[in-house]
Amino acid sequence: MAEQVTKSVLFVCLGNICRSPIAEAVFRKLVTDQSISDHWVVDSGAVSDWNVGRSPDPRAVSCLRNHGINTAHKARQNNACISCSFATLTVVEYRALLNQVTKEDFATFDYILCMDESNLRDLNRKSNQVKNCRAKIELLGSYDPQKQLIIEDPYYGNEADFETVYQQCVRCCRAFLEKVR
């Protein structure tokens, strides 16, 4: 049997406190439920540095917990890595790292999936400064079977807006995983 190649994905939004931590958590749960988490490196990041050191928005954490996903999101400032552990297949416990996207991310990740056109512009501009950019940079919403291309920022909204982001991330992450598997 051929050895499975490890793939990597970085989910990105403006501040890494709402959308990208939700997408990361959803994707981690999907690969864990399918027993393929050993074949994926999954992380999330921000295009801005406004929230480095902050935990995810409590509404994002609450939304994930409502769906059986517990997170312990900790800050990362020097692009240090941390391993992930999964307690069960139904409740994913992971330690995500809030960080700003770095030049190294463009050279190390296979996919960088962002949430809106502003994120996409910022990432494409940054990637042009990297000689060995290997990442495929796309909107996560480009995988949405319901064709909702943009995953709107729920920060100024309410719990229902976070639930909408969660549902979009589930659809998009499932479709993405099916395509690249």
The distance of Cα 4 from the centroid of its chain, to the nearest Å, equals: 22
> Looking at this protein, which amino acid is placed at residue 1?
M
Is the separation of the CB atoms in 20 and 46 below 8 Å?
Answer: yes
Which of the residues 153, 169, 172, 173 is marked catalytic? 153
Which of the residues 13, 18, 114, 169 is marked catalytic? 13
Confirm whether 43 is a catalytic residue: no
Which of the residues 18, 19, 76, 144 is marked catalytic? 19
Confirm whether 13 is a catalytic residue: yes
**DSSP symbols for 75-142:** E-SS--------S-SSSEEE--EE-B--HHHHHH-SEEEESSHHHHHHHHHHHTT-TT--PEEEEGGG
Confirm whether 153 is a catalytic residue: yes
The SS3 call for residue 65 is helix
Q: Catalytic amino acids?
A: 13, 19, 153
